[in-house]
Structure 1
Amino acid sequence: MQPARLLRHGGRGQALVLFSLTLLLLTLMVLMTLGFGMRAKERVEIQMAADAAAYSQAVSVARTFNAIAVMNRAQIAHMVAMAGTQSLISYSGQHYAVAKENGCAIPDAAFSAADDAAGTQARALQGAAGDLFQAELALYGTLLSKHLAGQQLADEIVQATSSDLRALPGGAAKSMMEVSGGSGGVSSYDDLMTQERTGTVPDTAGAVLPTGGNQGRATLNATMGSLGWTWVHNRPGGSAGFGTGGANGGGYGFTHYADVSSMDPSTYDTISGRNSWAHDHGAARTFTCPVNGQPVTGTGEGSWVMSDERQTKQDQHVYSAHPAPGQGTEGADRVDERHTMGTCNVCPGIWPYSVGFNVGLLQGGNPGRNDYGQPKLYAVVSRDYAGPARRAQPDPWNIYFQFNFAGISTDFDNSSPLGRIQPTGREDVQRNQVALSAGLAYYHRPRPVADGGGWREPPNFLNPFWRATLASAEGTTDDSPAGSLSAAGFTEHAAALRQLDAAGFRGGSSTGARY
């Protein structure tokens, strides 16, 4: 009977071993399932966070562009009003000159007071327009420095999703290049105006130009008198004639030319080295003298008009009864100090300096391959499985413990490369989970379907029709997701992406992303 008892006892031992192994296997399967499930969940989470960050960046850009567009429209309204005021100054100035030369003794003091009031109105309008321009610069500077630079906005978005997610500063390169051409800030107002005066506005590949729309010298030549050009008219009679004043505060000599083609711009001592001209064709004016009620007809041959510059002492309008430019007084003011366009930089031009869209991006052979210059913004988001946040709250199925040998602590973490905690940086695929997403700030003012649909106009900063959307990270000429990953430090991830592209895998680009 004894052998039977031993046999039954041995069976119970085998069952316990089998039960233990089964329980261990079941636990392992559960933990593996949880591990795979959590990795899948984290993969979805990080991609959603990257999408949210990219879209938020695109929204911030679109809203900034819309605000700039609204302020540009307000600027133009101010400039139109100022142009009207200046037109009245010129119109009344010519009638005043004709009256003075043809027996209508309009009191100088009365005209000077009206002229001064009109100039004050023009200065107020231009001051308000200038304030709008500086507000645009401040708003654009905030977009660059507080939202896009260093992926600051993206980092706030992803950390709100999960504390162990980060949008690292190195991932901002693509967004900054698309918006500002890579510049992390905006030059001061004075520096920008100096660039305009000297024709040294730097070229940029970005969508935004702080001093206009990259239209060559269009802003420089937008109006007569802009940026150091002078006005003269070509009536041959009286003191009128082609000519220019000096930009160095002296030498106000004027030269008469028989026709426009004979004018040599290289001889003009102005800020820009150029001149512009205007004339009234010697047209006769007929009106009623406000002093005696008698009709007055004449041409005002002794009067002439030229523009002024902030950098020179030259009068805007001189009449036969007054001394040469830069001398004498008009009312209580020196004629060269009555600056009817205010302390402007482009006097007496009315071109509104404003933050503009880079129209150069709409030109070239195939602008559609570059989204017509509309900025695409990348968000590069990562999760460091061996980082401090992860180690502070490790997953229970990841083994983590310390060995103490001779007073030296050696960490082991199953979630990090080879189980070792080392300052390996971001280059390890095993250690870092990475997601990249792209948002697009795009302009769309739709044309009615009845008219054929599509765009009504190309991207611009004159109408507030900027929107935001998610977009493929590939497909345009300057897209390089792998390059952005490398710039952020994720070199192994970038290499894996290039290998996939070389093997024929395609994302948003049918021709390959040219990594």
Structure 2
Amino acid sequence: MLAALSLLLLGLMVALSFGISHALRGKTRLQQHSDAMAYSMATVQARSLNYFAVSNRAIAASFVAMNSLHAYMAAASVTSSMLSQGKDNFEAIGIIEIVLCLPCPWTGSACKHCKDAAEAFKIAKKFDKKRKEYDNEIKNVDPRFDNAVQALDVMIDTIHRSQWSVFKDTVTLLQNGSANGLGKLKDINAKEASSLNSAVGALNASEFTCVIDGMVCVGSGKPGNSPRPARARVMTEVANATRPEWPATRGKGVLEYLHPQFMKDLMNGIQGSGVSFVTGHDGTAKTTQNASTGEVEAGPSSDNQGKVTGADEHGRLTSQWRHGLWTGRYEASIFSDNSGNKHSPKSAHTGKHTKFEGVYAKDLLACAVGGNCFMKFRSDPDPSHDFGQPHVYSYVTMKMRTGDVKKAPWELNSKSEVKFTHGDQGTGKISMAPDEGAALSNALVYYHRLGDWQEQPNMFNPFWRAKLHPFTSSQAAAVLTAAGNTDAAQVAASATDLPL
């Protein structure tokens, strides 16, 4: 009797060992699958954030291209203003010659100034005639200039629509864990595993949504959206700060970019003798708050929301001819916004410059079809929130027992149970294999610039990465609660000093 009992116990222990080993192997596969799913979803999210960074750069470059476009148009327009100043200079020189002519005929030497005065006024008319020629050329370019501005504005909206498309696809992936081919992980790692828990998927989508300033964020303790003007200022500052030499400072000077034939005509070609020369020529183009040459020429502003894009060109033209010398200031400017703006000199202008919407002109959720918006990182100063860097969670389950004794004879029967009666002690039951296992994983999408650089997370540099990350007790409890595993959630919540 004792020998038979010993053999029974030995057999049960062997069956239990097989059951536990099988369950451990299954649990290991399940955890590996959960880790792979969390890491893969985090990698996709990191790539999405890197796409936002690169496309935000493209949007900033489009604003800079608008600045360059306005700079070229201002450079073209300033030719009219320079010729107009040449006319003014020779009219002033003509008056000087008239004054010198007044003693004639009493002073014979003064009479030659009368002829010079008449010739100076003729030269002034030549400057004016040449100005009109350039005005017509500039007017012909004006409509094409507006079309180019509009094309760049449309390009910004097109880039932002692509950001929305990436955002929506990423949210779908984070919610179900199987989109875009990610479902193949299940076939590779654990075919019997469940899909990503839908409530946990909703947590993932919320984490991702809260990364973007302007989105509806329902995360506990997360900072609210910054005001729309503040978001506009960020892109405006980035765009203005990244202007190359040409739109920012015009590079090496006026003689380098105005046509040599124009400069030859201006300096002595029209007037014949003497010389007209340019001094103090300067110009710049930028995105500003108002259509003001003062704002274009000024430094950074704390309240520049980028409502206008424009350029300015100015300097002095000094003319020396015969016995006269005169100098005067010339200036040209051009601005575009959404309601029409100015173009100086007016003689070189046609139509309205209404093709620029402004930077971040609408709220983000209304900006899918227009408004020149971009995806901005929602900064969070709280280290317990990882400074706003998002987490990606995985929670999956899998049956640990097969329920088929032909495949797993150690389970003994379909329920993998052994029942026994022990005299007055009553009946008992032994489970030969665990019924179901669960696995949860946590990945962090984090910002890390290469080398020794230290900078805050942002969406202008593509340095977002992904890694598996330990749980805090509160994170684990939140995931388990969302998954409906309240018993495990209570255990996790109590492990306050133990990283999971």
Q: Structure 1 length as normaliser, TM-score?
A: 0.58
Matches of 1:299 and 1:315, distance apart in 2: 23
Distance 1:134 1:58, change over 3 A: same
Structure-to-structure mapping, 1:380-399, within 5 angstroms? 380-384=395-399, 395-398=408-411
Structure 1 residue corresponding to 2:457, chosen from 456, 459, 474: 459
Matched residue type, 2:193:
L
Superposed CA deviations along residues 247-286 of structure 1, whole A, max 9, x for unmatched, are xxxxxxxxxxxxxxxxxxxxxxxxx9x9889997x96543
Contact 2:70 2:310 in 1 (8 A): no
The structure carrying a bigger helix percent of its residues is 2
Contact 1:79 1:352 in 2 (8 A): no
Structure 1 residue 438: deviation in Å?
0.7
Q: Does 1:168 align with 2:190?
A: no
Q: Does 1:137 align with 2:169?
A: no
Distance 1:306 1:287, change over 3 A: farther
Q: Does 1:286 align with 2:317?
A: yes
- Please give the secondary structure, in 2, of the residue aligned with 1:397: helix
Equivalent residue for 2:185?
157
Equivalent residue for 1:317?
343
Matches of 1:414 and 1:484, distance apart in 2: 32
Matches of 2:404 and 2:342, distance apart in 1: 74
Structure-to-structure mapping, 1:108-507, within 5 angstroms? 108-145=135-172, 147-152=173-178, 156-166=184-194, 167-181=196-210, 201=214, 204=217, 214=226, 217-221=229-233, 222=236, 230-232=290-292, 285-286=316-317, 298-299=328-329, 307-309=336-338, 312=339, 314-317=340-343, 319-321=345-347, 330=350, 335-336=351-352, 338-339=353-354, 341=356, 353-358=373-378, 360-361=379-380, 364=381, 367-384=382-399, 395-398=408-411, 400=413, 414=417, 432-447=436-451, 453=452, 455-474=453-472, 479-499=474-494, 501=495, 506-507=498-499
Structure 1 residue 342: deviation in Å?
8.3
Structure 1 residue 395: deviation in Å?
4.3
Distance 1:296 1:373, change over 3 A: farther
Matched residue type, 2:28:
V
Distance 1:341 1:284, change over 3 A: same
- Unpaired runs of 5+ residues, structure 1, are 1-16, 184-199, 207-212, 236-271, 289-294, 323-328, 402-411, 420-429, 448-452, 509-515
Matches of 1:182 and 1:220, distance apart in 2: 17
Task: Report which of the two structures shows the higher radius of gyration computed on alpha carbons.
Answer: 2
Matched residue type, 1:445:
R
Matches of 1:373 and 1:320, distance apart in 2: 51
Distance 1:26 1:382, change over 3 A: same
Matched residue type, 2:385:
N
Matches of 2:309 and 2:60, distance apart in 1: 24
Matched residue type, 1:173:
A
Superposed CA deviations along residues 426-458 of structure 1, whole A, max 9, x for unmatched, are xxxx854221111111111133xxxxx4x4322
Equivalent residue for 1:86?
70
Contact 1:168 1:381 in 2 (8 A): yes
Contact 2:397 2:438 in 1 (8 A): yes
Distance 1:400 1:28, change over 3 A: closer
Distance 1:168 1:286, change over 3 A: same
Structure 1 residue 202: deviation in Å?
5.2
Structure 1 residue 505: deviation in Å?
5.6
Contact 2:66 2:309 in 1 (8 A): no
Distance 1:393 1:505, change over 3 A: farther
- Unpaired runs of 5+ residues, structure 2, are 88-127, 220-224, 241-284, 296-304, 320-324, 363-370, 419-427
RMSD value, Cα = 4.6
Matches of 1:368 and 1:107, distance apart in 2: 61
Structure-to-structure mapping, 1:12-27, within 5 angstroms? 21-27=5-11
Matches of 2:399 and 2:480, distance apart in 1: 15
Contact 2:391 2:444 in 1 (8 A): yes
Equivalent residue for 1:252?
none
Superposed CA deviations along residues 134-169 of structure 1, whole A, max 9, x for unmatched, are 222212221111x10133357653453222212221
- Please give the secondary structure, in 1, of the residue aligned with 2:10: helix
Matches of 1:277 and 1:143, distance apart in 2: 34
Superposed CA deviations along residues 273-318 of structure 1, whole A, max 9, x for unmatched, are x9889997x9654399xxxxxx9965569x8765431xx4x34426
Structure 1 residue 91: deviation in Å?
3.7
Matches of 1:22 and 1:152, distance apart in 2: 50
Distance 1:398 1:57, change over 3 A: same
- Please give the secondary structure, in 1, of the residue aligned with 2:393: strand
Superposed CA deviations along residues 155-198 of structure 1, whole A, max 9, x for unmatched, are 65345322221222121233222211399xxxxxxxxxxxxxxx
The structure carrying a bigger strand percent of its residues is 2
Structure 2 residue corresponding to 1:59, chosen from 40, 43, 50: 43
Distance 1:45 1:383, change over 3 A: same
